[in-house]
Amino acid sequence: MSKKNIQSLRGMNDILGKDSELFTYFIENASRIARNYGFSYLETPILEETALFKRSVGESSDIVNKEMYQFIDKGENDVCLRPEGTAGVVRSFIQNKFDRAGGTYRWYYYGPMFRYERPQKGRLRQFHQFGCEVFGVSSVYEDANIIMMIKNILDFFQIKFKLQLNSLGCPQCMPVYRDNLVKHLTDFKEELCEDCNRRIETNPIRVLDCKNENCQKLLYNAPKITNNLCAKCDIDFVKLKEILDYNNIEYEIDSNLVRGLDYYSQTAFEFTSSEIGAQSAIAGGGRYDRLVEFLGGRQTAGIGFAIGIERLLELVKINETKEDVIYLGALDENALNLLTKIAIEKRKNTKTIIEYSPRGFKKHFQIAEKSEATIVALIGENELNDGTIYTKNLVTQEEKTIKIEDF
């Protein structure tokens, strides 16, 4: 009986080969930039109580409603694979009593997120995010700082992007706006799609980012949140635009940008690319000044973002100039010990691989060429006697036998 090979689940991929090279290249450089902006690394569990996401991302959101990998564990706990990173970070912030201690906190994280969506290009069920969260800073300069940091990361990887910006107001102005919007929508409720009809009841502002063309047409004359902000939100939004202008950061105001998670207030933004197809959002984020309170902590300002790593990597090209990789091989068994010593020295600065089996000249080259080596270095009986090493640079084809000390 033939046994069928087991495949990875739909929408869940291995990261290997060229992809894993790109993945680590991205993480290393994004982490370095985050640390330059004053962020330190934080890791939270992948599995959390389901209630955490219901209370933060929101019961009416698609993520919580339709997309969670939720189950009852063996201890009867209702748990869920995290669909995003912010909720866990906020939980940790409160659990560690940083809300009570006060002060400013900046963390970055990366790892897998899970959403049971319909897989397609750029949309996975297990995908990876690189995210940053800031606590305790209510100044709008931090909103600008976060946006500049994302731009800094995207510029490093030479990625072209568009930035969409909106303000979602605050508990003073948003509810008034929401009521106005519902009044406007009620007039042509029948013409709106089924999803929008449901959203009018549960979360009316989500109607604004409905992808249905007909709904978008009907929204043409709808009131805009950016024209209905209270004085404080308006001043902050004007200031944010001023700081971005001052730093030559281009953006578009999109008053229909509401984001798919319920925790935002004031600043909301999305970075998109036109080069990766329909799933064009490469990063998104915003301010969430009430989220700590929603989750039972002391009121603390918060703002953050996450980059979708798989989508971003579609756009990254590793610098074509290759770094050196040394291949060390023994032509004689007696040279192996010496090779281990040379490797320790070389590995301080250069990637170095050792072939443990002594082999002939030709065979070593065959193996080295199949690996990523750029320099082949071999030691046989003659070299051992002379204290030398044979080297060939596979890029320039230059061959030489030199003293080991000079290698």
Decide: is 123 part of the binding site for ligand HAM (CB under 6 A): yes
Decide: is 380 part of the binding site for ligand HAM (CB under 6 A): no
Query: Which lies closer to ligand HAM via its Cβ, residue 13 or residue 180?
Result: 13
Q: Which residue is nearest to ligand HAM (CB)?
A: 308
CA distance 257 to 203: 14
Least Å distance, CB 282 to ligand HAM, is: 5
Decide: is 284 part of the binding site for ligand HAM (CB under 6 A): yes
Least Å distance, CB 71 to ligand HAM, is: 19
Tokens of 383: 């070299």
Angle between helices 194-202 and 173-186 (to 10 degrees): 140
Neighbouring-strand partners of residue 307: 130, 283
Query: Which lies closer to ligand HAM via its Cβ, residue 236 or residue 310?
Result: 310
Query: Binding pattern to ligand HAM, positions 308-337, x when CB under 6 A?
Result: x-xx--------------------------
Decide: is 266 part of the binding site for ligand HAM (CB under 6 A): no
Near ligand HAM in 17-56, by CB under 6 A: none
- The residue from 31, 251, 260, 290 that contacts ligand HAM (CB under 6 A) is 260
Task: Specify the long-range contacts of residues 36-41, CB closer than 8 Å, at least 24 apart.
Answer: 37/106, 37/132, 37/145, 37/149, 37/152, 38/106, 39/106, 39/107, 39/108, 39/132, 40/106, 40/107, 40/108, 41/107, 41/108, 41/109
CA distance 111 to 85: 9
Decide: is 290 part of the binding site for ligand HAM (CB under 6 A): no
Decide: is 127 part of the binding site for ligand HAM (CB under 6 A): yes
Tokens of 376: 């082949």
Query: Binding pattern to ligand HAM, positions 154-193, x when CB under 6 A?
Result: ----------------------------------------
Which residues neighbour 149 within 8 Å (Cβ) at sequence distance 6 or greater?
A: 33, 34, 37, 132
Helix (H) and strand (E) counts for the chain? 15, 16
Decide: is 289 part of the binding site for ligand HAM (CB under 6 A): no
Residue from 208, 210, 214 nearest 226 by CA = 208
Give the SS3 label for residue 78.
strand
- The residue from 150, 170, 208, 283 that contacts ligand HAM (CB under 6 A) is 283
Enter the DSSP assignment of 170.
Answer: -
> Contact residues for ligand HAM (CB under 6 A)?
84-86, 115, 117, 123-124, 127, 129, 131, 133, 260-261, 281-286, 304-306, 308, 310-311
